[in-house]
Structure 1
Amino acid sequence: MNRNEWKQMVPGLLGIASVAIGFVAWALIQFGSPREAASYIQGDRLLIEPRMAWVGEGQAGEGRQATFLVRNRSNEPVTIVGASSSCSCVLTDRLPIQIPPGQDRSLHVEFHLDGKPSERVEQSLTYITDYAPQPTIPVKIAGRVVEPSEPH
């Protein structure tokens, strides 16, 4: 490309960059992150962070805590009515928990590391809601089993 062609492209590139920067700024102000903004744009009104909780390392059978923050971006109260998991090694807060519109609630989980030493353990947990447009909120919990003598 010659110099004149580059000069003609600059206004368009600056326009695209301005739109991208504007979107990121809007996402940070309104939602705290571009990922939450993208979820909202896709129709999700119940946003959860993190989607994958790392509980660290521990010995087999050891319980580790994870916390998920659920934000209700709908215009109505939403109740987390229950949860289901891929194993019996996950225990959740007492449910149901109601989340008023525009507010958030922390959900606490105890995850028991079941596995062989040096093994990464990952399980799925699905929160069940009374909100028809988004009846479930899936998350994952992971950790690593270590030998009893290994520091963690």
Structure 2
Amino acid sequence: MVTLTINGNEHDLDAEPDMPLLWAIRDLVGLTGTKFGCGMAQCGACTVLMDGAPVRSCQTAIGDVGTAKITTIEGLSGKVATTVQAVWADLDVPQCGYCQSGQIMSATDLLTSNPKPTDDDIDAAMTGNLCRCATYHRIRAGIHEAAKRLEA
């Protein structure tokens, strides 16, 4: 039995400690916004926040989570997160949308720690979040727009 705090709720999971967090979130808790992409922590589709920091849930074992608080796209809240999500919709950032929960999680983390990111800051923070539709220019524009709205 493993207990995880996901989006503010405790979940007692009957699972082995080596189970990837991604599958616990999706299959045992039923939150499907976090996506499976590559399974090797290289695409970012499975990004969640663990105690506020982005992690790749496909390669994070639930036994390694401990007492950390996990936030998925479904539990993302606060001014930065809602601004990022609003900008994503306003600017039509996603194309197919598959990678976007991971993109939003990483963008929210970036703007929380760096409210005025440069292009280089954005590139560094978003490295490892791949978009098969190549909407990187819209993602960067979305992060800059979110930063502007948050500054106002």
Bigger helix share: 2
TM band (smaller chain):
under 0.3
Q: TM-score, normalised by structure 1?
A: 0.23
Q: TM-score, normalised by structure 2?
A: 0.23
